[in-house]
A and B are shown apart, each in its own frame.
Chain A
Amino acid sequence: QQQVKQSPQSLIVQKGGISIINCAYENTAFDYFPWYQQFPGKGPALLIAIRPDVSEKKEGRFTISFNKSAKQFSLHIMDSQPGDSATYFCAASAGNTPLVFGKGTRLSVIA
């Protein structure tokens, strides 16, 4: 059973455009929702994270939107740049349980 469903699997965006990656979950006990960014040949690194007490969190060009009632959260990358080309993973955890990751989205930003 896939606990966190991520879409799309791949995404191509023009430079300067908005990249949007979506994740959905079923476990209502989840209370921590991070996004990890992975460049080719590297390990993933935390990009931004949100807890369900807020509906949005913004860090620079990266924004997480969280919809508790729909059990969905999404990553928006504004003014996408070629340097943003990477694989993005959403994840979720509940209390003292390990993170569960989505399957990842490969983002390509083309000039």
Chain B
Amino acid sequence: DAGITQSPRHKVTETGTPVTLRCHQTENHRYMYWYRQDPGHGLRLIHYSYGVKDTDKGEVSDGYSVSRSKTEDFLLTLESATSSQTSVYFCASGTDIGQETQYFGPGTRLLVL
């Protein structure tokens, strides 16, 4: 398995609080992604990065921001969490933007009360 980890694995927070999820990969992959997975919606791309400090929006980026200061780390921030952001969040990494294997992390289960 590609070395990709996420922290925390579980988090409960309250509406209006900021939340940061961390993704760390040891494969020196150029591309990193944040997805959310919800029943009936599958995997939806939030943001992705194509290099250090280079990021772009995905399908469901409203309410989320990202940062990538090092190749191995990709942070997802919910500036002010809402109940609609309760979800399972997956990070992934890969060597190509969409044409090669994406390696997924184990996921972070976030509950916003």
B74 to chain A, nearest CB (A): 14
For A6, list chain B residues within 8 Å (CB). Answer: 42
Asked whether B45 lies within 8 Å of A98 as measured between CB atoms, the reply is: yes
| A28, B44: Cα distance in complex, Å | 21
For B45, list chain A residues within 8 Å (CB). Answer: 98-100
With most chain B CB atoms within 10 A of its CB, the pick from A6, A9, A32 is A32
- Known: A32-B98, A96-B97, A96-B98. Contact between A101 and B33, CB under 8 A? no
B51 to chain A, nearest CB (A): 13
B23 to chain A, nearest CB (A): 11
Tell me the B15-66 residues at the A interface (CB within 8 Å).
33, 35, 40-45, 48, 58-59
For A104, list chain B residues within 8 Å (CB). Answer: 42-43
Across the A-B interface, give the 8 residue pairs with the lowest CB-CB distance, nearest first.
Answer: A93-B98, A43-B104, A103-B42, A101-B43, A104-B42, A46-B101, A99-B98, A32-B99
Interface residues of B (CB under 8 A from A): 33, 35, 40-45, 48, 58-59, 90, 92, 97-99, 101-107
Interface residues of A (CB under 8 A from B): 6, 9, 31-32, 34, 41-46, 49, 89, 93-104
5 contacts between A and B (CB under 8 A): A49-B101, A95-B99, A98-B98, A100-B45, A102-B42
